[in-house]
Structure 1
Amino acid sequence: MDSIYYRAIQRPAQLRSAYPFVQFGQPFSGPEFGMVKTFQVYLGAHGHNSSRSASSNSSCSNSSEDDRTYSCVHCRAHLARHQDLISKSFQGSQGRAYLFEMVVNVSCGKPEERLLLTGLHSVADIYCDCCHTVLGWKYEQAYETSQKYKEGKYIIELAHLIKDNGWDLSWVELDQRRPY
């Protein structure tokens, strides 16, 4: 029987502690396949502890905040948890974007220097591991001291995001109508 290997990008210890149920880089025994299969990380309520405390939201009555995730609009691969959302007030090349502390199921391109709205940054494009769509970028280095908080964080453009798992429909509709 061939082994199927779980393919994952080298992740910081922070990601491993946030998702202890994921066996990064470990072989997976399965039926015989003629190829190596890639598995995605699935986010949701799997008994993991978040580094951020989940605040109760009265408008989200169907599920806890831990269940709410953001997925790729093209292939529905999980990308980020709601607790990892830092800011909704960013601008991407295709419109509005969100800043996340941590993301999964993405690959990084080569870092390059770009002059963004907030100054010069070293960024690397991020791609969905499943459909290979460019989703946004990762801030590798910020050259201005006021922008240092972005280093190691991820931008995903709203054109590539969909809310998944546990979002109360009325709350989603309100969120989409809100002027930004």
Structure 2
Amino acid sequence: MAAELVGPRLYSCHNCRNHVALHDDIISKAFQGRNGRAFLFSHAMNVVVGPKEDRHLLTGLHTVADIYCSDCREVLGWKYERAFEASQKYKEGKFIFEKSKIAKENW
């Protein structure tokens, strides 16, 4: 009997199941998105980064860019391009995925 191959636990677009992030890349689950809870990831895959814009978020002013699924173009969250406050610099280059926009795979 062959052992079952188990891939890495990952997250996919809730709409089309395109793989967008690895569970191992989660930095925090304590974020707030536009539509509820959101997760902060160190990396993302199969996403398109939109134009940068300055947004006032709960933690102050940030330059962010929406991220879209590369397959179905669903908006999944945003990428932090720049933080204006020193305490928020750790977010630069990181990705927010809205919990409601991603689904678990291989769990």
1:63 Cα deviation from its structure 2 partner: 8.0
Q: Which structure features the higher share of helix residues? A: 1
In the alignment, what sits opposite 2:21?
80
In the alignment, what sits opposite 1:106?
47
CA separation of 1:68/1:114 partners in 2, compared to 1, >3 Å: closer, same or farther? Answer: same
Which of residues 72, 86, 90 in structure 1 aligns to 2:31? 90
CA separation of 1:81/1:109 partners in 2, compared to 1, >3 Å: closer, same or farther? Answer: same
In the alignment, what sits opposite 1:164?
105
1:130 Cα deviation from its structure 2 partner: 0.6
1:151 Cα deviation from its structure 2 partner: 0.0
In the alignment, what sits opposite 1:172?
none
1:141 Cα deviation from its structure 2 partner: 0.1
- Distance in 2 (CA, whole Å) between partners of 1:161 and 1:85 is 13
Amino acid of the residue matched to residue 93 of structure 2? G
Note if 1:116 corresponds to 2:57. yes
Give the number of the structure with larger relative contact order, counting CA–CA contacts within 8 Å between residues 6 or more apart.
Answer: 2
The total of aligned residue pairs comes to: 104
- Distance in 2 (CA, whole Å) between partners of 1:136 and 1:115 is 15
- Distance in 2 (CA, whole Å) between partners of 1:75 and 1:145 is 37
Two-structure CA RMSD over aligned residues (Å): 1.5
1:140 Cα deviation from its structure 2 partner: 0.1
SS in structure 1 of the partner of residue 81 of structure 2: strand
| 4+ residue segments displaced more than 6 Å | none
TM-score where L is the length of structure 2 = 0.93
Structural mapping, 1:1-40, within 5 Å: none
1:67 Cα deviation from its structure 2 partner: 1.3
Q: Which structure features the higher share of strand residues? A: 2
SS in structure 1 of the partner of residue 16 of structure 2: coil
1:143 Cα deviation from its structure 2 partner: 0.2
- Distance in 2 (CA, whole Å) between partners of 1:87 and 1:151 is 14
Amino acid of the residue matched to residue 22 of structure 2? R
In the alignment, what sits opposite 1:46?
none
Note if 1:149 corresponds to 2:90. yes
- Distance in 1 (CA, whole Å) between partners of 2:36 and 2:77 is 11
- Distance in 1 (CA, whole Å) between partners of 2:104 and 2:85 is 33
CA separation of 1:118/1:131 partners in 2, compared to 1, >3 Å: closer, same or farther? Answer: same
* Identical amino acids, percent of aligned pairs: 59
